[in-house]
Structure 1
Amino acid sequence: MTFMKKLFRVIKIFVLTFFLITNLVVLVFKFVNPPTTAFIQSSLSELVLSDFSFFPIERNWFSYDEIADDIKVAVIASEDQKFSSHFGFDLEQIEKAYKDIQRGRRFRGASTITQQTVKNLFLWKKQSFIRKGVEVYFTLLIELYWSKERILEVYLNIAQFGENIYGVGTASKVYYKKDPAKLKRGEAAMLAAVLPNPIRYRAFRPSSFLLGRRDRILRQMNLIGGKSYLKEL
Structure 2
Amino acid sequence: MTFVLRLLKICAALLLLFWGGGLLLFRFVDPPVTPLMVIRAVERNAWIGYAPVRLVDVAAALPRAVIASEDGRFCLHHGIDLGAVQEALEDYGETGRLRGASTITMQVARNLLLWPGGGFVRKAIEAPLALALDAFWPKRRIMEVYLNIAEMGPGLFGAGASAQAYFNRPAGRLSETQAARLAAILPAPTRWNATAPTAYVERRTGTILRRMDQLGPAQLGCLG
TM-score by length of 1: 0.86
Letter in 2 for 1:41: V
SS of alignment partner, residue 81 of structure 1:
coil
The structure whose Rg is larger is 1
**Counterpart position of 1:102:** 93
Contact 2:19 2:113 in 1 (8 A): no
Alignment partner of 2:95: what SS?
coil
Spell out, residue by residue over 1:27-86, the C-alpha distance to the aligned partner (whole angstroms, 9 max, x if none). Answer: 111001000001111222334xxxxxx212121110010011100100000000100011
Cross-structure match for 2:49: 58
Unaligned segments of structure 2, at least 5 residues: none
- Correspondence for 2:27: 30
CA distance in 2, matches of 1:40, 1:16: 24
Structure-1 residue corresponding to 2:58:
67
Structure-to-structure mapping, 1:106-125, within 5 angstroms:
107-125=98-116
Query: Over the residues paired in the alignment, what is the CA RMSD in angstroms?
Result: 2.3
Contact 1:160 1:167 in 2 (8 A): yes
Deviation at 1:25, TM superposition (A): 2.1
TM-score (norm 2): 0.89
Structure 2 residue 156 is the aligned partner of structure 1 residue 159: no
Q: Supply the distance in 1 between the matched residues of 2:26 and 2:110 (Cα, whole angstroms).
A: 15
Please give the secondary structure, in 2, of the residue aligned with 1:171.
helix
User: How many pairs does the alignment contain?
Assistant: 223
Find the counterpart in structure 2 of residue 199 from structure 1.
Answer: 190
SS in 2 for 1:161: strand
Once the two structures are aligned, what percentage of the paired residues are identical?
Answer: 36
Q: Could you say what secondary structure the match of 2:50 adopts?
A: coil
- Counterpart of 2:22, as a letter, is V
- CA-CA distance at 1:8 after TM superposition: 8.4
Where 1:86 maps in the other structure, the secondary structure is coil
Find the counterpart in structure 2 of residue 131 from structure 1: 122
1:232 alignment partner in structure 2: 222
